[in-house]
Structure 1
């Protein structure tokens, strides 16, 4: 049997430290063990058995091996998995330096690969319309579900902002039924913004306030919340997520959907319709326009698709 190297003993000590001193779960420690086993195998391939012989260039080579894989041994990892594996290595070397096993921490400047920027998922307009029509208006809960969905798509609000709305914040909604309304929304960092409320969303909320909410409110102990659950309390974010899942299933939409999906769709459809990115930034409550500009990548794809389909000399 091959004797255990000092690097392997260091890894075992670090795993004990994670389990005993830091109290990490068995599942989490098992993940660290898998990641560090791959690191130990890489070091062994490089002929490195002593922690003090590990240099920053060694770690750079390891990072490359994670991204490219090792033929016949290890597959290449996705960026998120490689980032996790490198985080385990950084923790190991920080532990080694703190324990005096090594004089320096060769991983001090090691940075994980930046994950690829994921484009937000937006629904096609016809899918949004199918989803919004699915709850119906026959019962108080159906009226509430329709109001919830219309608010999410009509304002682009975060789910926490929409379920956090109070009735008093819509007090003027009924007095001007034909006017475009608006909501005062408190977003991240307690920042306030004004969001217009279109005709469809306004009608859905008005119908709910008149024919749906009074019945639900009688079941509870009194809450200022606009959107109520079946017991008369304020609807939670988890409750809103479940409503969306059930509504998507009822509408026979074979796609993953969450409350944030309608926020993404709101932004994408506005930009597709010609809205200025800074206006969309203000409507979404983004602190920086850079955050909003990710949606322009979606619309560029849309423009390319339209061009290839419509232009007589595109292909």
Structure 2
């Protein structure tokens, strides 16, 4: 498992979050095998299917089972490469079809009211405002935001350099309101919170080190909840993508903006726009 963990992070470039999830799932699988007197070298499709069936019977969701299938496929591919398995059963494992719910988004008026209502004064309020503005302006993931360094902002081009999933780098434009909020944070908030040991991190936590994902989520909920427009960080990402499409941006540009490797991941946002179009049609069209 240690070698497989190094394979996931070093060779495949999986994020620490993905590696932790895979290892937790596969530890469960190996424990299940051990309880039946089997080892990893015995892995085959019936054994894996039985393990997945027990997970479903215990209440695991479709998304959890899909993640477990992905983890097993990665493991069996690795074991086959290492000569531990004669054949790779992974490709014969079917992934359960997930029912993808439309993401919850703020409408444009809600987003504007939530951001314009801010009047930050304390370092924490300045950070919250900057975090929310930057998430909405760029559509980046909360983990990507927490990983930003001061040097990742390019003020000459009004862009930010983002390191996404699989260590893929992309450059994202940033609007003027978000840049102003970040400037206020770096000028008046960050100096009050920085630890004695210097750090390159753009956003800082209570102890002066790099801001953690959990605290960033709390910042978003606190800032938006105060104006009755509560949303998770990923909701701001959904909102940014939907508002871009509503404003006329093409799907390929939004794909690049979000850092999606496939346009299929971006197409869900077109469904959001269609739902709003249907609602407007039903309210306004005389023959609806």
TM norm structure 2: 0.67
Higher Cα radius of gyration: 1
Cα 1:208/1:82, change in 2 over 3 Å: closer
4+ residue runs over 3 A deviation = 14-22, 31-34, 81-84, 108-113
Q: What RMSD, in angstroms, separates the aligned Cα atoms of the two structures?
A: 3.3
Cα 1:286/1:138, change in 2 over 3 Å: same
Provide, for residues 125-182 of structure 1, a one-character-per-residue CA deviation record: whole Å limited to 9, x for no partner: 2332343345532112111111111100000011111111111222x53xx6xxx611
- The equivalent of 1:208 in structure 2 is 185
Cα 1:125/1:78, change in 2 over 3 Å: farther
Provide, for residues 265-296 of structure 1, a one-character-per-residue CA deviation record: whole Å limited to 9, x for no partner: 10011101111000101111111111111110
Q: Which runs of 5+ in 2 are unaligned?
A: 1-30, 40-50, 70-90
Correspondent of 2:172 among 195, 208, 229: 195
- The equivalent of 1:136 in structure 2 is 119
Provide, for residues 16-41 of structure 1, a one-character-per-residue CA deviation record: whole Å limited to 9, x for no partner: 9549989xxxxxx9x949928xxxxx
The question of 1:265 aligning with 2:239 is answered: yes
Correspondent of 1:159 among 130, 142, 147: 142
Q: Residues of 2 paired with 1:292 and 1:184: CA distance?
A: 20
Cα 1:252/1:112, change in 2 over 3 Å: same
Displacement of 1:301: 0.9
Cα 1:82/1:247, change in 2 over 3 Å: closer
Q: Residues 251 and 266 of structure 2 are in contact (CA less than 8 Å); yes or no, is this contact kept in structure 1?
A: yes
- The equivalent of 2:57 in structure 1 is 35
Aligned residue pairs, count = 223
Displacement of 1:200: 0.8
Cα 1:284/1:81, change in 2 over 3 Å: closer
Provide, for residues 228-279 of structure 1, a one-character-per-residue CA deviation record: whole Å limited to 9, x for no partner: 11221111111101112222332234x5x32111111100111011110001
**Greater relative contact order structure (CA < 8 Å, 6+ sep):** 2
Q: Which runs of 5+ in 1 are unaligned?
A: 1-13, 23-28, 37-76, 88-107
